[in-house]
Amino acid sequence: MPCTTILVGKKASFDGSTMIARNDDGFFDEKRLTVVLPKDQPRTYKSKLSRVTLTLPEDPLRYTVTPSVDPSNGIWGAGGINAENVAMTATETITTNSRVQAADPLLRSPDKAGPRGKAITGGLGEEDFVTVVLPYIHSAREGVLRLGSLLEEYGTYESNGIAFSDAEEIWWMETIGGHHWIACRVPDDRYVIMPNQFGMDHFDFEDALGKQERYLCSADLLDFVRDNHLDLNLDGRFSPRLAFGSHDDSDHVYNTPRAWFMGRYFNPRTVRWDGPNADYTPESDDIPWSFVPEHKITVNEVKYILSSYFQGTPYNPYARGDSPLKGKYRPIGISRTGVMAILQIRGSMPKEIAALEWICFGANPFNAALPVYANTDAMPGYLSKVTMDVDSDTFYWASRLIGAMADANYAACIQHIERYQAAIAANGSRLVHEYDKMMMESQNYSLIAEANRKLCAMARTEATATLGKVLREGSLAMKCGYKRADN
């Protein structure tokens, strides 16, 4: 699925937490946030798309997940946090090139239409990854190693990037062809920007095949690169992006502009992003994979950047006037997002309350990020009891309705949206601070369920009020409106 990811190391974040976040940009997918208990985790898993069957371990952990409401095409878990405070987001669809495809072809992608498709040849993909990995890992590194072993055994029919985090580390993993993979530990003082393109721009094979302190890969990857002449570097430094990725014309309107905007936001002074002497433009192929930010990054900023649509640039699709550049590039905050989650692991907090999941549904420019505690056996119905029927009494559908109406009347509605987003951000953080203090002082962590209910009640109040405001603005703008004074 076309998506955007940002990863924030613990020394680059405002409170020492690790943060991994991704827009799950499907096609208006209905999503919900729920918890899978160990007794409900399958012991035999069968993929809906590729029909691969695998036996899962007998000791799964509890975990949160944001599956598709419609199960007909599989679970599509998107991301979550397990009982050991390990987070995973899967996946960022990435690019590859024909040289990689020739050397290690992707398994034949199944044709969901059925009658027109050829025989399905198997493999695991985005549909499966969270379900078969997250319940069985106790660290971010373990997540890479488990998924890597599954890829080597079963293969994949698509190219993907996957993030794992715990209180200390963030690891980013990218698939290469049908059976190979590569991974890097994100430096603690950096943030990573990932549009739908192969990302890593540096890799140390000596470490990956030796101490494995910062790099991991499939065991035969170096031979794979040499045997297939994939290394295109002239300076002796291996660039995975150059070897395994793409720099197509389509990247320059769909992918690289998003990386440009994210870097421009967090590093406006240390890098030149605009003008004739810019270091990087929206169509540069060499925008770095990671940066040291100019200031510590907050949750609110992660939400803002994943909601952005080139504000303050000529490419803003909502800009006034008829500039030929307006809407030229694919925005980060796009209409068809199903869910976005910021998975925050707070290493300074007791393990019972270390994990927060900031959940958003629908188009990010118009939705709000609601924090909930992940270490729980159930999520409130406002988040979990989503159906295929439009219903403003769930956070998912309220968010979708607000977005569609606000977009149609952007100028009139944007002030309501900004106030709505600020209210949930402030009230959500306030409630988290209150319950953090209460639970640490009392050592009563069963209050998590009460905290999540109060957070959802607050969000319901704010969303309902905002829905009424944007509905009124839309009603006032209806073309069938008429007053006698109009004559």
Q: Each residue of 434-444: pLDDT tens digit? A: 999 999 999 99
Across the range 57-84, mean pLDDT stands at 97
Q: Rounded CA gap, 414 and 70, in Å?
A: 31
Q: Which residues contact 485 (CB under 8 A, 6 or more apart)?
A: none
Q: How far is CA 476 from CA 317, 472, 481, in A?
A: 23, 6, 7
Note the pLDDT of residue 108.
78
Task: Give the confidence band of 114 by pLDDT, cuts at 50, 70, 90.
Answer: very low
How far is it, in rounded angstroms, from Cα 465 to Cα 106?
Answer: 48
Tell me the C-alpha distance between 200 and 162, whole Å: 12
Q: What is the pLDDT of residue 111?
A: 53
Task: Report the pLDDT averaged over residues 100-108.
Answer: 94
pLDDT at 194 over 80: yes
Q: How far apart are CA 61 and CA 151, in angstroms?
A: 21
Q: How many domains does the chain fold into? A: 1
DSSP 116: T
Instruction: Identify the domain containing residue 253 by its residue range.
Output: 3-348
Secondary structure (3-state) at 34: strand
Nearest alpha carbon to residue 49 among 125, 107, 116: 125
Residue 367 in any domain: the answer is no
Which phi-psi region, left, alpha or beta, contains residue 212 (left: φ > 0; alpha: ψ -120 to 50)?
A: left
Residue with tokens 């992707």: 106
pLDDT in tens, 233-245: 998 899 999 999 9
Of the pLDDT bands very low, low, confident and very high (cuts 50, 70, 90), residue 101 is very high
The pLDDT value recorded for residue 56 is: 98
Do the Cβ atoms of 19 and 79 come closer than 8 Å? no
| Predicted confidence (pLDDT) per residue in 413-442, tens digit | 999 999 999 999 999 999 999 999 999 999
Q: Is residue 270 part of a domain?
A: yes
| Residue whose C-alpha is closest to residue 339's, from 360, 310, 369, 311 | 360
What is d(CA 352, CA 379) in angstroms, rounded to the nearest whole number? 16
pLDDT digits (tens, 9 = 90+) for 364-406: 999 999 999 999 999 999 999 999 999 999 999 999 999 999 9
What is the predicted pLDDT for the residue at 118? 46
The answer to the question of residue 105 being in a domain is: yes
Q: Output the pLDDT for position 487.
A: 66
The reply to whether 426 falls in a domain is no
Residue 115 lies in a domain: yes
Whether 13 is covered by a domain: the verdict is yes
Query: Which residue carries 């499907």 as its tokens?
Result: 26
Return the pLDDT at 122. 83
Annotated catalytic residue 3? yes
The length of the chain in residues reads 487
Q: Residue 353: inside a domain, yes or no?
A: no
Per residue in 304-340, pLDDT (tens digit) is 999 999 999 999 999 998 889 999 999 999 999 999 9
Does any domain span residue 428?
Answer: no
